[in-house]
Amino acid sequence: MGYDEVKFEEIESMTKEEAINELNKFFKGNKKFLEFASLMIKSTHGFLKINFMNKQIDTWNWEKLLGISISTKIGFKQLYYRKGNEKYKKTDARLDGNETHEIDGYRLTIYYTDSRKVEEFEF
């Protein structure tokens, strides 16, 4: 069980190659998430840097929660993979169980700073 996070607060910018190297080190073994996150970085015009990366494995709510946030010239993007933890779901015997056990999928959120517009996509 655990939570791990890397923040890049003191870094103002990085190349896409540097970002993908950091991504590969942190999310090693999570092939599909790595593919989607790498594609997000490679396809982002005005990419500035990774803000943070986090992962939760076998916690109360999540069997697996992987996330990355990147800064762009027009705002920022966040990509998450979420898989709810079946073993902690609410049952008659566990009334205080979680409600995340049915969640299994990806979410991409794009925030536009100037217009304060938000776009969300689930897949």
Mean pLDDT confidence for 35-56: 98
- Look at residue 68 and tell me whether its pLDDT is greater than 70: yes
Q: Say what the pLDDT of residue 95 is.
A: 83
C-alpha to C-alpha distance for 17 and 42, rounded to whole angstroms? 9
Q: Say what the pLDDT of residue 35 is.
A: 98
- The one-letter code for the residue type at 94 is R
pTM of the model: 0.88
- Look at residue 75 and tell me whether its pLDDT is greater than 90: yes
Residue recorded with tokens 């979420």? 82
- Look at residue 108 and tell me whether its pLDDT is greater than 70: yes
Mean pLDDT confidence for 87-108: 88
Alpha carbon 72 to chain centroid, angstroms: 16
**Cβ neighbours for 61, distance < 8 A, ≥ 6 positions apart:** 84, 85, 88, 98, 100
- Look at residue 69 and tell me whether its pLDDT is greater than 90: yes
Output DSSP code: residue 89.
Answer: B
Residue recorded with tokens 């697996």? 64
Q: Rounded mean pLDDT of the chain?
A: 94
Q: Say what the pLDDT of residue 1 is.
A: 65
Residue 2 pLDDT grade (very low, low, confident, very high; cuts 50, 70, 90): confident
Residue 26 pLDDT grade (very low, low, confident, very high; cuts 50, 70, 90): very high
Is 39 within 8 Å of 16 (Cβ atoms)? no
